[in-house]
Amino acid sequence: MTANTASNRAISQDDIDYFARIGINIVYASEQQLEAKYNTDYFGKYHGSSQAVLFPTTTEEVSKILAYCNEHKIGVVTQGGNSGTAGGAIARQSEVILSLRDMNKVRDLDVISGVVVAESGCVLAELDEHVREAGYIVPVDLGAKKRCMIGGNVSTNAGGLRYLRYGTLHGNVLGLEVVLADGRVLDALFSLKKDASGYDVKQLFIGAEGTLGVVTAVSIALAPKPRSSQIAVLGLSDFGKIQKAFVLARQNLGEIISAFEFWERRCNELVVQYEKNPSPLASPHEFFVMIETRGSFERHDVEKMDAYLEVLAAEGLVEETKVFRDADEMERTWLFRSQMAEAHAKSGCMHVYDFSLPSRYQHDLLVAVKKHLTDAGLYGVAGAPVRDVTIFGHIGDDNIHLQVVADEYGGIVEEVMEPWVYEWVGSHGGSVAAEHGLGMHKGKFLKYSKSPVVIDTMKSIKQMLDPNGIMNPGKHVERA
């Protein structure tokens, strides 16, 4: 069961005139003129052909836009900060782009219950700064926080850097305001932390990537701003020691651990080379780990970290350790970690794979991919089209990022990698998309991690809420 895909006719002058009459700000130009800002994804892999970008400022305007587009069978692609890596915010053909950048108001901040209601166009970093003034933080934190928007975070179910501590958006989002495909406004913008009155409808739109409706506002439960933070960076010789260090971190750091990141030697080298950012450790290592704690009592937290590091040393797990407690030093260390994707992209054409995979198989994936590409003659020999194969990720939530950096996008490298890598991940109990979403490309691989009944149910929901197939057409579950 699939929704009827919307007509891909080019938007007409009559359509533009209608949007202008109802007061919508519009950019109407050739697809080439819109290429850099709206028709290309962040890393330059996916390209679209939209000729019209609409900039609503209210939920009512979004409602009018969708009602019109639904009636006239015009496809709509919602776009926030356009910082995704799966092409979900790129118009595949001639769809209208609905930019939410001008819907950026904070509607309410309850400092007693710690709940913020914000419009979808609020930039994540700016929203976080706003709530920090009241003693809170937004519970999701991403490397692209200065660009991405909270509506896009919700629509992709972004995980982020501190998932280990603060959990998923499925748990932190209390309510949503969503405009459905036919223009009706679904007002589920609750701020209650407990509600057992029927189906939790908002969950359908978290991770739906704009295929079921347009999220226009979000109610989020905030976390207290930490009074104490510290970071330890470790150098280790093999992946097994990372796993042991993680188990010990859970046992010894307990409630204050907020992040447990890892990357391998080549990732470290690429950041140093392309971002001109010095390594956090003096010596090279096969693997690096970054552990962050957040708490409310500095002396207590420092004692726990020092005791944990003593345990690691006694177990012979680390080659080098450095602790950062100065705010500027911690910010630079996080910057180093967050620059890894951009450093890879600067070194070549980055095929990025975002998987959830049990930790015990993560290094096996790297070994298997390198062997697979080597056997195909694409890696490890002079003149081979694949330059690097690397992994980094979030050990605490089983999310691993695999990068295959090649001379070009697509081509023989993609043919050899896909669907093989998705089959491998699925056969080892993994998910084909951990936090970047399905987007334009990965829907067809959904079958490797979801059962036929689950996929059919997803398609039924799509058909029910978007029978004309206007919402982000040809993506997500439509590709399954």
Every domain range in the chain assigned CATH 3.30.465.10: 106-224
Q: Is the pLDDT of residue 9 over 60?
A: yes
Q: How far is Cα 352 from Cα 442, in angstroms, rounded to an integer?
A: 12
pLDDT band of 7, cuts 50, 70, 90: low
CATH number for domain 2-102+462-479, candidates 3.40.462.20, 3.30.428.10, 3.30.43.10, 2.40.110.10? 3.30.43.10
Domain range 106-224, CATH class? alpha beta
pLDDT at 83: 87
The proportion of the chain whose per-residue pLDDT surpasses 90, expressed as a percent, equals: 86
Cβ contacts of 331-338, under 8 Å, gap ≥ 24:
332/277, 333/231, 333/233, 333/280, 333/290, 334/161, 334/231, 335/277, 336/271, 336/275, 336/277, 336/279, 336/280, 337/143, 337/161, 337/261, 337/263, 337/290, 338/143, 338/161
For all residues of the chain together, what is the average pLDDT? Answer: 94
What's the whole-model pTM score?
0.92
pLDDT at 6: 45
Q: Which amino acid is at 451?
A: S
**pLDDT tens digits for 356-387?**
999 999 999 999 999 999 999 999 999 999 99
444: its two tokens: 């067809």
Every domain range in the chain assigned CATH 3.30.70.2740: 348-449
Every domain range in the chain assigned CATH 3.30.70.2190: 228-340
282: its two tokens: 């003096």
pLDDT at 3: 44
- 228-340, CATH topology level: Alpha-Beta Plaits (3.30.70)
121: its two tokens: 């166009």
Does the domain spanning 348-449 belong to CATH 3.10.180.10?
no
Q: How far is Cα 82 from Cα 75, in angstroms, rounded to an integer?
A: 18
pLDDT (average), residues 424-428: 97
Every domain range in the chain assigned CATH 3.30.43.10: 2-102+462-479
Query: Which residue's structure tokens are 């356009």?
Result: 82
Q: How far is Cα 60 from Cα 318, in angstroms, rounded to an integer?
A: 57
Query: Which residue's structure tokens are 């969503």?
Result: 178
